Homo-oligomer: A and B are copies of this chain.
């Protein structure tokens, strides 16, 4: 990853003989190969570029997209709430461009596995290419199919995540392949979708339902004038989490009144 003096980042693959072309001149890859990470190398026009290895968040942010990608602030929290860990088996439906798939594959490696289903073959093709580019494709099985027809995973999974406009249409199917006590999550952009999803979760053997939103506020890192950035991303989506239960609860936990401190 090359970062210019204004903070703009470019993810490139270093190859002997190749050139990194910029608006401010070029840099021969050979000038970078062999240098320690964290080095500054100038372009042919004298502009400095800082070379550092990209994080998984950087890779996800820079993947080729056909649709909105899940932001790192959200995907980080999703991984935590779905208890995604090395060795876990996770089903995702709605692979998009493979952004969250990448984060999931990264977190379950080397012994876990991700199943990623989508109804659109072009999304799967794009996501697959993106996973191959970052070397994580062996941890993912893509499934092409309609979620209302179920999820053909070989055995129950530890966690399910739905990134669909109407996740309520396949809750029963999701519950069917989720281990008892397993972790459920979904991301939807509007309050109407949250309402629809909440109504369906009550029916589909899910409990401990929570609705949350993650906001990221960035500051200008200037010690003499510390202050928030002028503008921020104000909304990406509402996160809905639940747990797979055996049968509907007798008295459903009134999370309405429960103290939020405990699991915050």
Please give the residue numbers on chain A whose beta carbons come within 8 Å of chain B beta carbons, in ascending order. Answer: 3-9, 36-40, 48, 50-53, 55-58, 61, 71-73, 75-77, 79-83, 85-87, 103, 106-111, 179-183, 189-192, 194-196, 198-199, 202, 205, 207-235, 238, 240, 243-247, 249-264
Q: In the assembly, what is the distance between CA of A61 and CA of B80, in Å?
A: 12
Query: Do A5 and B254 touch across chains, with their CB atoms under 8 A apart?
Result: yes
A109 partner residues in chain B, CB cutoff 8 A: 85-87
A246 is contacted by which of B40, B231, B232 (Cβ under 8 Å)? B40
A56 pairs with B77, CB closer than 8 A: no
Please tell me how many copies of the chain the complex holds.
4
> Is B85 within 8 A of A250, CB to CB?
no
Distance of A233 Cα from B228 Cα, bound (Å) = 10
| Neighbour of A52 across the interface among B85, B212, B243, CB < 8 A | B243
26 contacts between A and B (CB under 8 A): A5-B254, A37-B179, A38-B180, A38-B205, A38-B207, A39-B180, A39-B245, A55-B183, A72-B264, A76-B79, A86-B109, A87-B109, A110-B111, A190-B226, A191-B195, A192-B226, A194-B219, A194-B226, A198-B226, A212-B218, A213-B216, A213-B217, A214-B216, A220-B255, A231-B260, A232-B234
Tell me which residues across on chain B come within 8 A of A207, comparing CB atoms: 38, 50
Alpha-carbon distance between A226 and B183 when the two chains are bound, in angstroms: 22
Question: Closest B-chain residue to A62, C-beta based?
Answer: B262
